[in-house]
Amino acid sequence: MAKVKLIDVARFAGVSKSTASQYLNGRFDYMSKETQERIRAAIAELDYVPNPIARNLKATKTKTIGVVVRDITGFYTSRVIRGVDDYCKANGYNALIYNTDFAPEIEAKSIEALYQLRVDGIIIASSGNNNQLVTDYIGKGMPIVHFQIENDGSEQNIVLSDYKKAAFDATEYLIQLGHKKICFVTQDFKNVISRTERYQGYADALTKHGIPVEDSLVQFWQRESGFQVEPTEIIKSAAPTAFFTQHLPITIELLRDLNQANISVPDDVSLLGFDEIPMAEFFKVPITVVKQEPYTIGMEATQLLLNNIANESNLSHKILIPCSLELRESCKAI
């Protein structure tokens, strides 16, 4: 079935394409009632549906934003997207979601595609590998707001959890339970500010309580290869009484490995994870976590972006959203 175009409506109604377009945009000032009725009848008879993208390409503002995320299926990310979508709906905007699967080249193509679609702005959880591209588009007038991760500090507008304070509070909670050998498990953080701040919060809490930071208790995990040192080997060599994991996938993989090795949480070792675990209440031992507020982050990021779009401001903003400790049964006093 051939798609009905605006010119088809105009011909059916016996008017010019420009007159039909004015009708669709609600401009009736110099249009007779009879002409309006003919166009309305033509639209109904032909079942014409306007193309919003085509119309937006001619407008100064498209009332659409782009959202670039690394894993749309993630619990944190899905809650951020819900916050973005709710704020957009309340303010007459639409959101286009692009998923990158952690691939920098897909991220770059996503940004370019959204620019070509003439979105009014972009919210992005950046890989940190396309900083120059992002800077170039900002230079072209595209408002961009970052969330979730701060890479090198070049991000002009960003909304984040208060990672440093959250890590400090979590580590201090474990210390108050009597733990002095706390294994901090993270991804490589040397070139990523957000991960460095988590480590700094951990180290600051240890220092406050006179506990040395031991290199053997700072362990690493990679998304592709898993733990650099197996948890069972860490327990044998460094003898931690608690693990503090920095991402949900790390927490899940650690739980799996401990379970396979018949190491009990919290009887043999305590566990505190960063990020809420879906349906944690159904676990045999519910896990204590640092709870972020991704929905609030999505709302705040969208509000910041729409403000930038409306005001066309070049001012930089860094917004920190507080976290909280969700105390459950995986941490034991010693």
| Model confidence pLDDT, tens digit, residues 201-214 | 999 999 999 999 99
Domains 64-160+294-322 and 163-292 share a fold: yes
Measured CA to CA, the distance from residue 300 to residue 246 in angstroms comes to: 23
Task: Give the pLDDT of residue 54.
Answer: 59
Q: Which CATH class is domain 64-160+294-322?
A: alpha beta
pLDDT value of residue 28: 83
> Which ranges in the chain belong to alpha helices (H)?
6-13, 17-24, 33-46, 52-57, 75-90, 104-116, 131-139, 163-176, 193-208, 231-238, 248-260, 294-311
Give residue 112's pLDDT: 94
Closest CA to 244 of 209, 213, 273: 273
Domain 6-50 indexed as CATH 1.10.3720.10: no
- Which residues in the chain come in under a pLDDT of 50? none
- Asked if the 163-292 domain carries CATH number 2.40.160.20, the reply is no
Domain ranges of the chain: 6-50, 64-160+294-322, 163-292
Q: How many CB atoms lie within 10 A of CB 295?
A: 18
Rounded to the nearest 5°, which phi and psi values hold at 36? -60, -45
**The pairing of beta strand 64-69 with beta strand 121-124:** parallel
**Predicted model pTM:** 0.82
Q: Is residue 55 within 8 Å of 84, Cβ to Cβ?
A: no
pLDDT at position 59 is 59
Rg of the chain over Cα atoms, rounded to whole angstroms, equals 26
What pLDDT score was predicted for residue 61? 84
pLDDT of residue 190: 74
Structure confidence at residue 4 (pLDDT):
86
Output phi, psi for 136, to 5 deg.
-65, -45
CA gap 7, 294 in Å, rounded: 46
Q: Output the pLDDT for position 312.
A: 66
Token pair 């390409």 in the structure block, residue: 57
CA distance linking residue 311 with residue 313, whole number of Å: 5
